[in-house]
Structure 1
Amino acid sequence: MNPRLFAVAAGTEDLLQVLLHAHLDRIRAGRDLPALARYCHEAATGTTGAHRIAFAVDSYDDLRTQLEEACAGEVGRVPAQVTARRPGLVFVFAGQGAQWYGMGRELLAQQPVFREALLQCDRLVSEFAGFSVVEQLKLPAGEARLDELDVLQPTMVSLQIALTALWRSWGITPDAVVGHSMGEIAAAHTAGGLTLREALMVACRRSALLRRISGKGALATTELSPAEARAVAEASGGGISVAGENSPRSTVLAGDSHSLAALVAELEARDVYCRVIKGTVASHSHYVEELREDLHTALRTLEPAPTRLPMYSTVTAEPVRGAGLGAAYWMRNLREPVRFAAAVEHLGAAGHEVFLEVSAHPVLLSPVRQTLEHGERQGWLLPSGRRRAEVRSMLASLGTLYACGREPNWAALFPQERAGGLTPYQAAVLEAVRRPRPAPVAAGRAVSA
């Protein structure tokens, strides 16, 4: 059964508790229950207010269990005052590392908007790179070429663009965007700085050039602080450089294989996490200098536009100014260290509190959390997908976004249901809300997800 979003709201906490108990009583009785999709549609469209709760369900048994937990106060909640002020939402586009075999298949099968957006990307990738994104996603692991950089990166950018289209169809649009390395391509398109054609051209031509430096260096992810990482780089005599600062305690280093292997052994002896990232090249380091002229030539036809919403650059850590996403920018994106932590700090300082990672599986939520905690800031951190739970994880995040004050497009979420007056059950539920119920359970404090 396809997962659905169950969502209800009320004007006060007491009324919300009455509403939750009314639904629980109805489902426990189990008589004359409609299809789960219709039930969830009626629940979502039949109530309103700043006191909200929502969760993804795939059966009535699942819904009953989650309602029992909610009625017992066992579910973390977004406070109503947060819902009322509708905190700023950031779309966070990941770089490499979120991929997994089988990604996208559930969404292709169940979500027409995602499928159509991915097919649009597929046509452009076929033109620029000569392969089919959709075909690669459907191939068995032994036949797919997703371990090849110039196949993986255009595929991941296409997935991110299709996920963004699905979020928008559900009524969720960002107030700002940020991208990590390759993720800046989809971020630039989402912000309006690049057309779809331009974004896929950057993804295809950039990754094709990167193949030329394959084997000349690699990347390693570490739990070193930025200051510690810089000290390691300075002590290496040029063999290692800092390729990215993800959080106050997470960095990426670039270097030759010998230097990185020695570093891994040294840090393991000190019980410090360090791992060479497979299938990468030493981007964000001097190794990409030889690509400078060819990348400029490959992207010379770009005609970037001013972004329509803030795009916080992980090259400068500041919002992109004007039409600044031309060929020179994408060389800087490839050559300079990724300043992800600084960009997140600036987003937090600007008042953004909700961070939705747009990727096939979350890889940046932990660095975002670490950065916000370091700055003593609150945040709600949400994925756009998880391995083998693509739709359900998106709906769970949509439920938190609803609790954070966003208004979903219920018609898009329940396309088979027809709007009209209140159904008899909706009317009965609203009548139950008007009746007092003793001893409501206090809501728990919200936590990052």
Structure 2
Amino acid sequence: MSAQLFAVAAGTEDLLTALLHAHLDRIRAGRSLPPLARYCHDAATGTAGPHRLALAVESYADLEERLGEACAGETERIPAELATRRPRVVFVFAGQGAQWHGMGRELRDTEPVFREALDHCDALVREFAGFSAVEQLRLPAEQARLGELNILQPTVVSLQIALTALWRSWGVTPDAVVGHSMGEIAAAHTAGALTLREAMMIACRRSALLRRIAGKGALAATELSPAEAQAVAAASGGAISVAGENSPRSTVLAGDAASLAALVEDLDRRDVYCRVIKSTVASHSRYVDELREDLGTALESLDPAPTRVPMYSTVTAGPVPGTVLGAGYWMRNLREPVRFAAAVENLFAAGHEVFVEISTHPVLLSPVRQTLEHGERQGLLLPSGRRGEERRSVLSSLGTLYACGREPDWAALFPGGSATALTPYQAAVLDAVRLPRPVAAGAAA
């Protein structure tokens, strides 16, 4: 059964607890229960208030168990104060590393908006790169070519754009965006600076050029601080450079294979994590300099527009006007270090507290958490997907956003489920806990 979002709200915490108990009693009784999707629709659209709880569930048995935990106080609640002030949300677009075999399949099968957006991207991938991203996602692991950068990167960007379309269809839009390396392509499109055609052109043409430097250098992920990484680079005499600063204790280094292999051995002896990243190229380093002229020519037709949503650059670490995102910027994005940690710090300083990673599996939530904890700050970190449980994970994050004051488009979430009057079941539950009936119960939020 496809996962569903059970969500309820009330004016006080006591009323919310009473409502949860009423639902639990109803489900345990088990008489005349409608299909789970209809039950969740009625629950979500039948109540309102700042005290909220939402659960992603796949069956009545699952819902009964989760409600039992909530009634026993075993479920973490989002403070109602967050729902009242509606904290700002950042969409965080990952670079490489979130991919897994089978990604995108469940959402493409269950979510028409996701499928339509992915198919639009796929048509442009076919035009610019001569292959089908959708076909690659369907192929058995041994036949797919997602290990090749020129195949992987356009496919990942397509999935990110489809995930963003899904979020928007549910009524969730970002207050700001940020992208890690390649993730800036989908971030710039989401911000309104690039058309879909321009975003897919960058993803396809730039990844094709990257094939030319395959094997000329490598990247290594480390647990060195940015200052320690800079010291290692300075001591290498130019053989190693800092390619990215992901958090106060997570950096990426670039260099030739021999130098990085020696560094791994040295750091191993010191019990410091350092591993060469497989199946990639030495982006954000001198190895990409030879691509500068050809990349400029490949992207010379770009005509970026002003952003409609603030975009925080991981090149500059601060907000950038969309009009600067021409060909030259995408060379800087490929050549200069990824200043992800600094961008996250600046986003939080500007009042953004909720970070939603746009990827098929979370890879940036840990660096975001490390960055916030380093400054003794707290934020909400949410995935848009997890390996093997795509719909359930994204619905769970939607539920958290609901608890934070976001109002989902219930009609989009439950197609065909809108009602114009209070159902008998809704009336019974509300009466049981003496909750006021909504003026337009059952209507989409």
Deviation of 1:416 after TM superposition, in Å, equals: 2.9
Residues 141-290 of structure 1 mapped to structure 2, 5 A cutoff? 141-290=141-290
* SS of match in other structure, 1:184: helix
Residues 107-122 of structure 1 mapped to structure 2, 5 A cutoff? 107-122=107-122
Matched to 2:330, the amino acid is W
1:63 aligns with 2:63: yes
The aligned residue for residue 36 of structure 1 is 36
* SS of match in other structure, 1:329: helix
* CA distance in structure 1 between the partners assigned to 2:322 and 2:287 by the alignment: 29
* CA distance in structure 2 between the partners assigned to 1:282 and 1:418 by the alignment: 52
Deviation of 1:329 after TM superposition, in Å, equals: 0.4
* CA distance in structure 1 between the partners assigned to 2:419 and 2:314 by the alignment: 44
1:431 aligns with 2:434: no
Matched to 2:195, the amino acid is T
* CA distance in structure 1 between the partners assigned to 2:356 and 2:419 by the alignment: 29
1:16 aligns with 2:22: no
Deviation of 1:378 after TM superposition, in Å, equals: 1.5
The aligned residue for residue 399 of structure 2 is 399
Task: Tell me if structure 1 keeps the 8 A contact 2:213–2:281.
Answer: yes
The aligned residue for residue 358 of structure 1 is 358
* SS of match in other structure, 2:318: coil
Deviation by residue 1:152-194 (Cα, 9 ceiling, x = unmatched)? 0000000000000000001110000000000000000000000
Deviation by residue 1:68-102 (Cα, 9 ceiling, x = unmatched)? 11011111111001110000000000000000011
* CA distance in structure 2 between the partners assigned to 1:416 and 1:31 by the alignment: 23
Deviation of 1:434 after TM superposition, in Å, equals: 1.2
Q: What 5-or-longer segments of structure 1 have no aligned partner?
A: 436-449
Bigger mean CA deviation after superposition, 321-330 or 381-390: 321-330
* CA distance in structure 1 between the partners assigned to 2:3 and 2:429 by the alignment: 23
* SS of match in other structure, 2:102: coil
Matched to 2:220, the amino acid is A
Residues 320-399 of structure 1 mapped to structure 2, 5 A cutoff? 320-399=320-399
Give RMSD over aligned pairs. 0.7
Deviation of 1:432 after TM superposition, in Å, equals: 1.5
Deviation of 1:430 after TM superposition, in Å, equals: 1.0
* CA distance in structure 2 between the partners assigned to 1:45 and 1:167 by the alignment: 19
1:310 aligns with 2:310: yes
TM-score by length of 1: 0.96
* CA distance in structure 2 between the partners assigned to 1:322 and 1:426 by the alignment: 47
* CA distance in structure 2 between the partners assigned to 1:265 and 1:349 by the alignment: 38
The aligned residue for residue 88 of structure 2 is 88
* CA distance in structure 1 between the partners assigned to 2:262 and 2:235 by the alignment: 13
* SS of match in other structure, 2:324: coil
* CA distance in structure 2 between the partners assigned to 1:251 and 1:12 by the alignment: 45
* CA distance in structure 2 between the partners assigned to 1:348 and 1:107 by the alignment: 31
The aligned residue for residue 446 of structure 1 is none
* SS of match in other structure, 1:267: helix
Deviation of 1:296 after TM superposition, in Å, equals: 0.4
Matched to 1:38, the amino acid is R
Deviation by residue 1:120-158 (Cα, 9 ceiling, x = unmatched)? 000000000000010000000111110000000000000
* SS of match in other structure, 1:323: helix
TM-score by length of 2: 0.97
1:46 aligns with 2:21: no
Matched to 2:348, the amino acid is G
Q: Tell me the matched-pair count.
A: 435
Task: Tell me if structure 1 keeps the 8 A contact 2:188–2:322.
Answer: no
* CA distance in structure 2 between the partners assigned to 1:6 and 1:305 by the alignment: 39
Deviation of 1:377 after TM superposition, in Å, equals: 1.5
* CA distance in structure 1 between the partners assigned to 2:419 and 2:175 by the alignment: 29
Deviation of 1:374 after TM superposition, in Å, equals: 1.2
The aligned residue for residue 2 of structure 1 is 2
Deviation of 1:375 after TM superposition, in Å, equals: 1.6
The aligned residue for residue 442 of structure 1 is none
* CA distance in structure 2 between the partners assigned to 1:248 and 1:75 by the alignment: 31
Deviation by residue 1:318-364 (Cα, 9 ceiling, x = unmatched)? 10125110001000000000000000000000010000000010000
Matched to 2:340, the amino acid is F
Task: Tell me if structure 1 keeps the 8 A contact 2:122–2:133.
Answer: yes
Deviation of 1:209 after TM superposition, in Å, equals: 0.6
Deviation by residue 1:395-425 (Cα, 9 ceiling, x = unmatched)? 0000001001110010011003132200001
* SS of match in other structure, 1:307: coil
The aligned residue for residue 297 of structure 1 is 297
* SS of match in other structure, 2:262: helix
* CA distance in structure 2 between the partners assigned to 1:78 and 1:269 by the alignment: 43
Deviation of 1:275 after TM superposition, in Å, equals: 1.0
The aligned residue for residue 105 of structure 1 is 105
* CA distance in structure 2 between the partners assigned to 1:5 and 1:427 by the alignment: 20
* CA distance in structure 2 between the partners assigned to 1:326 and 1:30 by the alignment: 60
* SS of match in other structure, 2:433: helix
Q: Percent identity?
A: 79
